[in-house]
Amino acid sequence: MKTVLITGANKSIGFETARQLLQQGYYVYLGCRDLQKGQQAVSQLQSEGLTQVEPIQIDVDSLESIQAARQTLGQKTKVLDVLVNNAGVSGILPQPALETDINLIRQVFETNFFGVIAVTQAFIDMLKLSSEPRIVNVTSGLGSITLQNDPAWKYYHVKLAGYFPSKAALNAYTTVLAYDLRDTAFKINAVDPGYTATDFNHHSGPGTIPDAAARVVKAATFGPDGPTGQFFSDDNSPETGISAW
């Protein structure tokens, strides 16, 4: 049975990603900052007959929490097959370039960028023991620098001084990570789940959580011939699913 760790998985897209991977036969470690909320999420899944799941406490903003989670998971399994870096924040809106508090921008980067790096580095040894390791970095279509400079793009006027650069940086890190592991069995991709109605955006998005999670799951379950080092976004590019960087 393949194993997967999903950060920020006690609700919304992360929770649905856990559900769909459980339905595909994965054993899910459901990452959450609040262990009580994580247990509630696990109980919900178990009530649906999805029993191969347990919560793991992990706060991606805390190196101590990440290391504790690594130690905990290492006591449960030697091999991690999939890492889904799902935890993320938008920060207080709006975020104009000249007026947004620098501390808010730092906090957005701490979660969306540095947190992903810290978690990936902490669990990479377990992933390397997998025969088909997969890393999915959940990004945003707003992280495309190319499209952010295209006045014809439907989201051109959505400019967020913390969130957009943090996701652009995450995309860049994904590219470097995929390059560094290019001669291995790793498949490492950035996935935009789309503008989805969640707590993240006050349920303003037109997309559904199941559809959003399915995009993440698709990249998490790529076969040996699957792509690596790509930025997938059905929202940005409905024809091919591959977004401009």
- Catalytically active residues are 140, 167
Cα gap 44→180, rounded to integer Å:
39
- DSSP letter for 181, please: T
Alpha-carbon torsion, ordered 69, 88, 201, 242, to 10 deg? -120
SS3 content of the chain, % helix, strand, coil (to 5): 45, 15, 40
41: tokens are 């999420």
One-letter identity of residue 16: E
Task: Give strand pairing partners of 223.
Answer: none
Note whether 79 and 130 are within 8 A (CB): yes
